[in-house]
Chain A
Amino acid sequence: MEIPVVRNILEANDKIAVNLKELFAKHGILVLNLISSPGAGKTSILERTLTDLKDEFKMAVIEGDCQTDNDARRVAETGAKAVQINTDGGCHLDSNMITAALANFDMDNIDILFIENVGNLVCPVEFDCGEDFKIALLSVPEGDDKPEKYPALFEKSSAMILNKCDLLPYVQFDVERAKRFATQLNKDMPVFQTSCTTSEGLDTWYEWLRTAHAAKQK
């Protein structure tokens, strides 16, 4: 027999994500899902953000990692509460894992929650973790063709951080080209050019965070 179905394959994940969104809204928590390749500098950006905005916001981090807890330890050193999800080789976080991780947090004591997804530009994009925004993070040594190769991430992200810009004089990277591709399907997406070494551009990223957090409080 033929059984017509037409069901979204990710529906189980999406249902849980809807519950998460309600929960985050109730507590007024801004939630950002950071997606990048391994080594693009997600942890460094987080360390800086958690340190520099320490007096302004109460921040927490859910760390997705395939195997180790190195990143979680680095983040915890900033004083922010960090919970590690070990995906056991899995290539992305999903809404179920986030729900489980939340048991470790005092939700009334968080202004901004960062989800540091597993280093991978493909799978994390498909799984809604209940976040307000996905942030695509790219570093200049990776090459300016990344947005071209991974359109879905850049289409679904609300901002892009172009990190390690202090290396621009030493690598072949055309900022305009990367921006053009990244914003082709997402024309209003802001692009922050940052460096954790020189602190370049971090202030624009912080400004965006402040605005996004204020909007969430309304």
Chain B
Amino acid sequence: MAIAASLIDIVKEEMAKHNASKLLMVRVCYGKLTNLVPEALSFAFEVQTQQSPLEGAELELKEIPVTVTCGECSTEFTPEGTDLFCMPCPSCENLFGHTVLTGKELYLDHLEAE
């Protein structure tokens, strides 16, 4: 719920900056490694924008995949499958100590308003 509230604050600020009065669409990008639950954010956004110029706007949630650097040989790769705990390196098969490059983001990308 707090994430939706922060998002709404930023949206309002940006709309005021651009003299927009009606929000049409918001796009949020979130890394697969954040704890974001898209359904929960959509629901909270809908509830918290009711009876405001933001009401009815479409909230687009775009997932950013995980990429890591192998802790052993430094190869960059995107783990296959959904299991975030089994990420064998494609060149050396090492499983441990990878550095996360992407997948931890959570940002408002752009919005459409009039």
Contact = CB atoms under 8 A, between A and B. Distances in A.
Contact of B85 (A8, A13, A127, A181): A181
A33 B97 CA distance: 23
Interface residues of B, number: 34
A178 to B, nearest CB: 11
A101 B34 CA distance: 27
Contacts of A6: 107-110
Contact of B35 (A8, A147, A152, A184): A152
Nearest to A145: B85
Interface residues of A, number: 33
Contacts of A184: 85, 87, 95-96
A9 B3 contact: yes
A1 interface: yes
A125 B108 CA distance: 19
A126 B106 contact: yes
Nearest to B96: A187
Contacts of A4: 109-110
A2 interface: yes
Interface in A149-208: 150-152, 155, 181, 183-185, 187
B85 A12 contact: no
B114 interface: yes
Given A1-B20, A1-B113, A9-B28, A151 B97 contact: no
Nearest to B84: A151
A29 B32 CA distance: 33
Contact of A187 (B85, B97, B114): B97
Contacts of A123: 2, 35
A151 B83 CA distance: 10
A94 B15 CA distance: 26
A2 B85 contact: no
A147 B86 CA distance: 13
A2 B109 CA distance: 11
Interface of A: 1-13, 90-92, 94, 122-123, 125-127, 147-148, 150-152, 155, 181, 183-185, 187
Given A7-B107, A152-B33, 12 more contacts: A1-B112, A3-B110, A3-B111, A9-B106, A125-B35, A127-B2, A151-B85, A152-B34, A155-B33, A181-B85, A185-B84, A185-B98
